[in-house]
Structure 1
Amino acid sequence: MDGLLETCRNLFGTNNLYDVLDIPKDSSAKDVKRGYHKVSLRVHPDRVSGDEKDEATKKFQTLGKVYIILSDKEKRAVYDETGEVDDENDIPQDRDWYDYWRILFRKITVDDIKEFEKEYKESEEELADLKVAYVEAEGDLDQVMDMVMLATVEDEPRFTKIIKNWIKNGDVPDFASFSDESNKKSSQRKRKAAKEAKEAEEAKERLGLGESTDSLKALIQKNKASREMQMDSFLSDLEAKYGQPKKGKTTDNKTSTKTKKTKR
């Protein structure tokens, strides 16, 4: 069985634990956790299906082990000094890594996303993500818009202006797929975004959802109450159909009871 460093090399193309989390060596504990969060979201098994799920699961489990080391001062110090890890003693082999991940990162609500969006939009982090996306996608705006977190069609003019300034200053290459993009492709992207927004709105209305988590809570409570009413009605129908005594039997029972009381 391969050790952690060998596994990292096979799955992530590097045996440097910091590179696996995409963070520098002098990262703070907060940066280590944030790096783990971002990479684990990218490879989380729930995001893929089929043959890719097995590899995603292995990556997800490996990231948890990397985080165990880099989030512990003593384990991290030993790794920084020797470049080695103690696979047998330092890393639990039978941990439920999904539960561990959930302990570290609570479930995200609609309000959490809105708050993060306010902090992320037009931040240095968004600029860094946009630059990476532009270079990796070689200027293809379809891919860029998919790669940058929370990007919408409304962000496209802003992104385009930023990228043009980078090209002008020599910060990024001038890819033909960006500079020579046809109006037809841009229009297709906008139509696709409008269609997806309409479908999302229809789904929200169909589910009775508003703009906050309170709406989701109300929907759950509404469904719960509806199910309870249906169950009450169902039980009432059963009682009416099967719970009443048959004709003639009631009289006999009453007579029998009275007889018993008389004899006493």
Structure 2
Amino acid sequence: MDSMFEQLLSQVMAIAIDAGRAIMEIYEQPAGNVVLKPDQSPLTEADLASHRIITEGLSKLEPKWPILSEESTQIPPERRQSWPRFWLVDPLDGTKEFLKHNGEFTVNIALIDNGSPVLGIVHAPALNVCYAGAKGLGAYVQRGDAEKQRIEVVPHRENEPLRIVASRSHSDPRTAALLERLGDHECVGMGSSLKLCLVAEGVAHLYPRLGPTMEWDTAAAHAVVNEAGGMVCDISGRELAYNKADLHNPEFFVLGKTEQAMLATLRHWI
């Protein structure tokens, strides 16, 4: 299994980078057409170009598994739930960041096995950084042409401020109230699934998400967090599961697996 995942990681990273190139070609042009999907989230030419490249690339890989993309969610739940293993894709996570031109958007590709993310690639083309993780292989970050580096979560120590990462485009009163209760802390705003990756590489100790998200928003980075020694769990401490009928995530926390005391405190305050 490890050898299969190792080969898949390399192949999927190449697909994500190809999709990122297509996104950047559009990113560097004057603003193109933007339409609103039924949920009022924006859809751009870049989303669709990335979707085409990823689905074409994944469909050529062996073994062949079904593909569920944010841009192909019309697949009925009863059909999806017969899939033991499938690709879960967000072709452009952070479309609002893309439109703001702040660079904090990603290409997310995850492999889901019986409801759990076992492989994930998070590629941020504007930042030229790629996070990768697969079950049994650890988690890595690669910046530009540099050698990939192993990453791990960093435990919070009592004598240092708690470093928290929060959404740049989706603030809400409950999260603000929670941050107030946490006392001495440093907060970094970030877009897209990069927030989970900052916990995975030890830049932040905690990412609380009390607003709505979809499974494709988190799956790839979730795999990276798991392999970096962290966890992505709901408020009760259960790991997020994938391929639910409605594809919605519950509210969740991202933190190190050893941070059980912090998790208990957070649960008490929510």
Q: Same fold (TM over 0.5)?
A: no
More helix by share: 1
More strand per residue: 2
Larger Rg, first or second structure (1 or 2): 1
Report which structure shows greater RCO (CA 8 Å, sep ≥6): 2
Q: TM-score if structure 1 supplies the norm length?
A: 0.25
